[in-house]
Amino acid sequence: MFILRKLREHEPARLQDVMTDLYRDDQPDPQDIGTFEWQTILAYMGASGEEIKDVQMRMGRPWQ
């Protein structure tokens, strides 16, 4: 997935930290990550509320 790939390119250590915290046993496929989980990941990575909303809309998963 584009978003996850970009996060890995720009902030691999931070992304690994949040993914380890969220998924201690096995990390899911990016397509299987839910809206709330994406919000958590993006917020941890420093995205603003507006950026999170934009990403969610582009993914077809608008945050309610």
Q: How confident is the model at residue 3 (pLDDT cuts 50, 70, 90)?
A: confident
Q: pTM for this one?
A: 0.69
63 located within any domain: no
64 assigned to some structural domain: no
Count: domains in the chain: 1
Within-domain flag for 45: yes
CB 61 within 8 Å of CB 38: yes
pLDDT per position as a tens digit, 8-63: 888 889 888 888 888 888 878 877 888 888 888 889 888 899 998 888 888 886 65
Containing structural domain, residue 17: 2-58
12 domain-assigned:
yes
Residue 35 lies in a domain: yes
